[in-house]
A and B are shown apart, each in its own frame.
Chain A
Amino acid sequence: MRIGVFICQCGTNIAGTVDTRAVAKKAMEFPDVVFAVDYMYTCSEPGQKEIQDAISSHRLQGVVVAACSPRMHEPTFRRAVKKAGINPYMFEQANIREHCSWIGTDREANTRKAIDMVRMSVEKLRRNQALFSTQVAVNKRVLVIGGGVAGIQAALDCSDGGLEVVMVEREPSIGGKMAKLDKTFPTIDCSSCILGPKMVDVAQKENIRLYAYSEVEAISGYIGNFKVDIRKKATYVDWNACTGCGECTQKCPSKKAFDHFNEGLGATTAINIPFPQAIPKKARIDSDYCRYLTGGKCRVCEKICPVKAIRFDMKDEIVTEEVGAIIVASGYDLFDARVYGEYGGGRYPDVISAMQYERILSASGPYGGHIRRPSDGREPKEIVFISCVGSRDISVDRPYCSGICCMYIAKQAIMTRDHIPDSNCYVSYMDIRAPGKGYDEFIRRAQEEYGVKYIRGRVGRIYPRGDRLVVQGADTLLGVQVEIEADLVVLATGVECSAGARPLAEKLRISYDQHGFYMESHPKLRPVETNTAGVFLAGVCQGPKDIPASVGQGSAAASKVQALFSRDTIETDPQVAHVNENMCIGCGKCEQVCPFGAIRMKTLRDGSRKSEVLETVCQGCGLCNATCPNKAIQLRHSTDDQILAEINTLFD
Chain B
Amino acid sequence: MSSKSDAKQEREIKIVGFLCNWCSYGGADTAGVCRFRQPTDLRIIRIPCTGRIDPLMIVKSLIQGADGVLVSGCHPNDCHYAVGNFYARRRMEVLKRFLPYMGFQSDRFRYTWVSASEGQIWQQVVTDFSETIHRLGPNPGLHQTVDSAPAVSWF
**Are A and B in contact, CB atoms below 8 Å, in the complex?**
yes
A residues whose Cβ falls under 8 Å from a Cβ of B: 69-72, 95, 97-100, 102-104, 106, 109-110, 112-113, 116-117, 120, 123, 127, 509-514, 519, 531, 575, 593, 595-596, 619-623, 625-627, 630-631, 635, 638, 640-641, 643-648, 650-652
User: Could you list some 13 contacts between A and B, CB below 8 A?
Assistant: A69-B32, A95-B44, A113-B43, A127-B151, A531-B82, A621-B80, A622-B51, A622-B52, A625-B52, A626-B51, A626-B52, A647-B45, A650-B64
B-side contacts of A635, CB under 8 Å: 48, 52
The answer to whether residues A100 and B40 also contact, given A531-B80, A622-B49 and a CB cut-off of 8 A, is: yes
B51 and A623 contacting across the interface, CB-CB below 8 Å = yes
The answer to whether residues A647 and B37 also contact, given A103-B31, A531-B80, A635-B52 and a CB cut-off of 8 A, is: no
CA distance A514 to B79 in the complex (A): 12
B61 to chain A, nearest CB (A): 5
B83 and A595 contacting across the interface, CB-CB below 8 Å = yes
B-side contacts of A106, CB under 8 Å: 40
In the assembled complex, B98 has its CB within 8 A of some CB on chain A: no
A-side contacts of B91, CB under 8 Å: 626
In the assembled complex, B134 has its CB within 8 A of some CB on chain A: no
CA distance A648 to B60 in the complex (A): 9
Question: Which one, B16, B28, B150, contacts A650 given CB within 8 A?
Answer: B16
A104 and B38 contacting across the interface, CB-CB below 8 Å = yes
- Among B39-95, those with CB < 8 Å from A are 39-40, 42-49, 51-54, 57, 60-61, 64-66, 77-84, 87, 91
Question: Which one, B32, B61, B150, contacts A99 given CB within 8 A?
Answer: B32
B145 to chain A, nearest CB (A): 9
Report, nearest first, the 7 A-B pairs whose CB atoms are least far apart. A98-B32, A622-B52, A621-B81, A645-B151, A651-B65, A623-B51, A102-B32
B residues whose Cβ falls under 8 Å from a Cβ of A: 1, 12, 14, 16, 21, 25-26, 28-29, 31-33, 35-40, 42-49, 51-54, 57, 60-61, 64-66, 77-84, 87, 91, 148, 150-155
Residue of A nearest to B76 (CB): A514
A-side contacts of B60, CB under 8 Å: 644, 647
B-side contacts of A644, CB under 8 Å: 57, 60, 151-153
Question: Which one, B28, B40, B57, contacts A109 given CB within 8 A?
Answer: B40
Question: Which one, A117, A595, A620, A625, contacts B82 given CB within 8 A?
Answer: A595
B72 to chain A, nearest CB (A): 13
A94 to chain B, nearest CB (A): 10
B124 to chain A, nearest CB (A): 13
CA distance A595 to B52 in the complex (A): 13
A270 to chain B, nearest CB (A): 41
Interface of B is mostly: loop
B28 and A98 contacting across the interface, CB-CB below 8 Å = yes
Report the number of A-B residue pairs with Cβ-Cβ less than 8 Å: 157
Question: Which one, A117, A123, A514, A531, contacts B81 given CB within 8 A?
Answer: A531
B81 to chain A, nearest CB (A): 4
B-side contacts of A120, CB under 8 Å: 43, 45
CA distance A652 to B26 in the complex (A): 28
The answer to whether residues A513 and B51 also contact, given A99-B44, A623-B84, A646-B45 and a CB cut-off of 8 A, is: no
A648 and B64 contacting across the interface, CB-CB below 8 Å = yes
Residue of B nearest to A646 (CB): B45
Residue of A nearest to B88 (CB): A626
A651 and B14 contacting across the interface, CB-CB below 8 Å = yes
A552 to chain B, nearest CB (A): 24
Of listed A103, A510, A622, A640, residue having the most chain B CB within 10 A: A103
A515 to chain B, nearest CB (A): 10
A-side contacts of B46, CB under 8 Å: 70, 95
A144 to chain B, nearest CB (A): 22
A-side contacts of B77, CB under 8 Å: 511-514
Given contacts A595-B82, A631-B155, 16 further A-B contacts (CB under 8 A): A98-B33, A102-B33, A104-B38, A117-B43, A510-B82, A623-B83, A623-B84, A626-B87, A630-B155, A641-B151, A647-B16, A647-B57, A647-B151, A648-B64, A650-B43, A651-B65
Residue of A nearest to B17 (CB): A99
A-side contacts of B148, CB under 8 Å: 648, 652
A-side contacts of B37, CB under 8 Å: 103-104
B-side contacts of A514, CB under 8 Å: 77
Question: Which one, A72, A104, A116, A648, contacts B39 given CB within 8 A?
Answer: A104
A-side contacts of B79, CB under 8 Å: 511
B2 to chain A, nearest CB (A): 11
Residue of A nearest to B15 (CB): A650
Residue of B nearest to A596 (CB): B81
A-side contacts of B35, CB under 8 Å: 102-103
A622 and B44 contacting across the interface, CB-CB below 8 Å = no
B48 and A647 contacting across the interface, CB-CB below 8 Å = no
Residue of A nearest to B150 (CB): A645
The answer to whether residues A98 and B153 also contact, given A104-B40, A531-B81, A643-B47 and a CB cut-off of 8 A, is: no
Of listed A112, A575, A619, residue having the most chain B CB within 10 A: A619
